[in-house]
């Protein structure tokens, strides 16, 4: 039942925990040959402790809470995850985003079985982890690969030796091992570096070795905890390309956990936003990023898209723009901009774009535009019934997301 009993000797850099962004070794439960795409079919729902749903999600968390006991006397227990429920489907790339301390790595450690929930349940392929025998749990863990921010490679082994390691542990014979290592190194574009040692590689190359190692036993699930956070943008995008190929060509389900919104935006199909140990929002990448429903998610996501003027920017804008200031969220509605223009026109409202921009997310437009609105009779009429109010009301009735920016503070 206890997470710590699942640990293998910690000298193995492919195993044990990694909840902080440090150089400690991390987990890779990839220790047996499992036939890629079809791997999870061997993990059927029949063994599930708690009546699994017929079409089980690949990963499912049900009201999971994780509380760490107080450190020392007088300390207070710390709830790292608070009633978290989420589902990751087979074959998707699921992103988890949140600030430092939000509980992201704790979530990873619950999925790979290194921690057990204080309350709630974690299912992998329909099997509830804590209900499994140690043997079954090992089998499930073998089907999960891990990659880390600090790569966690053996310094004393060659590139090929690092990739071969989990195969050795899984007792794959030498000829087959060599074949697989060559295939994996070819897959990550490092065949010509097979005999180099990690210190001879760049960060991006090290992470590609990390990915090859994680895929060595053909896991159906790959967990990436801040896997690109130590890399520059160009290298990050190369590593993300590789993960995308693993997902598309090998059918590996990927859970990618990061504080980097760009990473999530470029690779995830669906996302969960974690804040203070709670999932404040989850859904398709586009829905969550283009149209966050909660303030917490908007705060976390808005920061990266820079689509709402900050308080300081707003104060500066107000110096030259005395009218009402509203921000309109841009979505992929047909004729969105025409609708805006015609609404302002028909209400006799002058609208000047003073801030914002439109980008793209999954090939769909996303962003926001901040307008200064001035009615024909000044800034909107004496009792809120003026042209500006009418225009805002009309836009909202039309489904446009309009936020009036708060009036200047004292
Ligand atoms: N083993 C532990 N014992 C006590 N507290 C822990 C433990 N692991 C994590 N925590 C606490 O739980 C909270 C969440 O930590 P976690 O490492 O999951 O955050 P994170 O989102 O991964 O942060 P970062 O982006 O900095 O990696 C933090 O307050 C952390 O100090
Ligand atoms: Mg972390």
Distance CA 117, CA 137 (A): 15
- Tens-digit pLDDT profile for residues 1-31: 333 333 333 444 544 333 222 332 333 333 3
Residue whose Cα lies nearest atom 31 of ligand 1: it is 101
**Residue 350, beta-bridge partner list:** 374
**What 8-state DSSP symbol labels residue 173?**
-
Cα 86 to ligand 2 centre (Å): 18
Q: Please state which of the four CATH numbers 3.20.20.110, 3.40.50.300, 3.20.20.70, 3.30.930.10 is assigned to the domain occupying 3-302.
A: 3.40.50.300
The residue to mutate among 76, 98, 101, 116, having the most atoms of ligand 1 within 8 angstroms of its beta carbon, is 101
Question: What is the rounded average pLDDT of the residues 142-148?
Answer: 92
Least confident segment among 195-199, 216-220, 245-249, 286-290: 286-290
| The pLDDT of residue 287 is above 90 | no
Lowest mean pLDDT among 69-73, 96-100, 368-372: 69-73
211-225, 291-305, 353-367: range with lowest mean pLDDT: 291-305
Q: How far is the CA of 22 from the centre of ligand 1 (A)?
A: 12
Atom of ligand 1 nearest to the CA of 71: 4
Report which protein residue has its CA nearest ligand 1's atom 12: 80
Residues within 6 Å of ligand 1 by CB:
19-21, 68, 78, 80, 98, 100-106, 259
DSSP structure string for 146-163: EEETT----TTS-HHHHH
Helices (H), 268-321: 285-290, 295-305, 311-320
Residue nearest to atom 3 of ligand 1 (CA): 68
CA 80 / ligand 1 centre spacing (Å): 6
What does the alpha-carbon distance between residue 38 and residue 275 come to, in Å, rounded to a whole number?
34
Percentage of the chain beyond pLDDT 70 is 81
Identify the CA nearest to 180 among candidates 152, 197, 160, 196.
Answer: 160
* Per-residue confidence (pLDDT) for residue 292, from 0 to 100: 81
Q: Determine the average pLDDT of the residues in 168-178.
A: 94
User: Residue 104's pLDDT band (boundaries 50, 70, 90)?
Assistant: very high
Of the candidates 116, 146, 119, the one whose C-alpha atom is nearest the C-alpha of residue 132 is 116
* Domain residue extents for the chain: 3-302, 307-404
Write down the CATH number for the domain with range 307-404: 3.30.70.260
Helix ranges (DSSP H) in 151-232 = 159-169, 174-187, 203-215
- Identify whether the C-beta of residue 58 lies closer than 8 Å to the C-beta of residue 220: yes
The H or E element containing residue 118 is none
For ligand 1, atom 28, name the residue with the nearest CA. Answer: 101
Q: Mean pLDDT lowest for which of 34-48, 111-125, 151-165, 243-257?
A: 34-48
Q: Which of 233, 96, 232, 216 is nearest to 160 (CA)?
A: 216
Q: Which atom number of ligand 1 is nearest to the Cα of residue 19?
A: 17
The CA distance from 236 to 227, in Å, is: 9
Segment 387-393 mean pLDDT: 93
How far out from the chain centre does Cα 20 lie? 16
What is the 101 CA–ligand 1 centroid distance (Å)? Answer: 5
Q: Whole-prediction pTM value?
A: 0.74
Q: How far is the CA of 184 from the centre of ligand 2 (A)?
A: 27
Distance 68 CA to ligand 1 centre (A): 9
Question: Which residues in 16-43 are b (16+ Cβ under 10 Å) and which e?
Answer: bbbbebeeebbbbbbbbbbebbebbeeb
**pLDDT at position 55:** 67
Given pLDDT bands bounded at 50, 70 and 90, which one contains residue 394? very high
Give the contacts of 119 (CB within 8 A, at least 6 positions apart): 63, 64, 65
Nearest CA to ligand 1 atom 5: 68
The per-residue pLDDT for 121 is 96
- Which residues, 6+ apart, have CB-to-CB distance to 43 below 8 Å? 124, 125, 126, 127, 139, 140, 143
- Closest atom of ligand 1 to 21 CA is 27
pLDDT bucket at 294, cuts 50 / 70 / 90: confident
| 49 pLDDT above the threshold of 70 | no
Tell me, what's the pLDDT at 25? 32
Q: Is the pLDDT of residue 337 over 50?
A: yes
Q: Which residue has a Cα nearest atom 29 of ligand 1?
A: 101
Ligand 2 center to residue 3 CA distance, Å?
A: 18
Give mean pLDDT, residues 102-114.
Answer: 94
pLDDT of 228 > 70? The answer is yes
DSSP track, 78-112? EEEEEEEEEEE-TT-EEEEE--TTSSHHHHHHHHT
Q: Order the strands of the 402-404 sheet from edge to edge.
A: 350-361, 364-374, 324-330, 402-404
- Encoding tokens for residue 190? 């490092």
């Amino acid at each position: 039942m206890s997470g710590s009993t699942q640990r293998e000797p910690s000298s193995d850099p492919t195993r044990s925990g990694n909840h902080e962004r440090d150089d400690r070794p991390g987990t890779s439960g990839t220790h047996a040959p499992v036939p890629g795409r079809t791997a999870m079919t061997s993990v059927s729902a029949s063994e599930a402790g708690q009546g699994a749903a017929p079409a089980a999600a690949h990963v499912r968390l049900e009201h999971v809470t994780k509380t760490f006991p107080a450190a020392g006397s007088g300390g207070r227990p710390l709830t790292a995850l608070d009633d978290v429920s989420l589902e990751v489907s087979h074959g998707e790339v699921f992103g988890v985003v949140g600030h430092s301390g939000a509980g992201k790595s704790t979530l990873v450690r619950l999925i790979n079985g290194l921690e057990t929930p204080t309350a709630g349940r974690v299912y992998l392929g329909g099997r509830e982890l804590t209900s499994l025998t140690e043997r079954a749990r090992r089998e499930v863990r073998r089907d999960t690969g891990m990659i880390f921010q600090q790569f966690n490679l053996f310094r004393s082994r060659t590139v090929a030796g690092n990739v071969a390691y989990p195969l050795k542990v899984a007792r794959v014979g030498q000829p087959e091992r060599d074949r697989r290592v060559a295939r994996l190194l070819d897959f990550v574009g490092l065949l010509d570096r097979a005999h180099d040692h990690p210190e001879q590689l760049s960060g991006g190359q090290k992470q590609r070795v990390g990915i090859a190692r994680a895929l060595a036993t053909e896991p159906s699930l790959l967990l990436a905890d801040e896997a690109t956070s130590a890399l520059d943008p160009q290298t990050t995008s190369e590593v993300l390309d590789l993960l995308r190929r693993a997902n598309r060509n090998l059918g590996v389900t990927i859970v990618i956990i990061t504080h980097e919104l760009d990473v999530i935006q470029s690779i995830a199909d669906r996302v969960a936003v974690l804040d203070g140990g709670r999932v404040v929002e989850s859904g398709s990448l586009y829905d969550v990023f283009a149209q966050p429903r909660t303030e917490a998610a908007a705060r976390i996501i808005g920061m990266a898209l820079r689509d709402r003027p900050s308080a300081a920017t707003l104060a500066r804008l107000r110096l030259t723009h005395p009218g009402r200031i509203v921000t309109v969220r841009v979505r992929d509605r047909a004729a969105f901009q025409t609708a805006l223009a015609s609404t302002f026109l028909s209400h006799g409202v002058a609208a000047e774009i003073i801030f914002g921009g439109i980008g793209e997310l999954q090939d769909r437009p996303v962003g926001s535009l901040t307008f200064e609105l001035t009615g024909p009779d000044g800034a909107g009429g004496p009792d809120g019934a003026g042209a500006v109010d009418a225009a805002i009301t009309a836009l909202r009735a039309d489904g446009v997301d309009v936020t009036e920016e708060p009036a200047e503070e004292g």
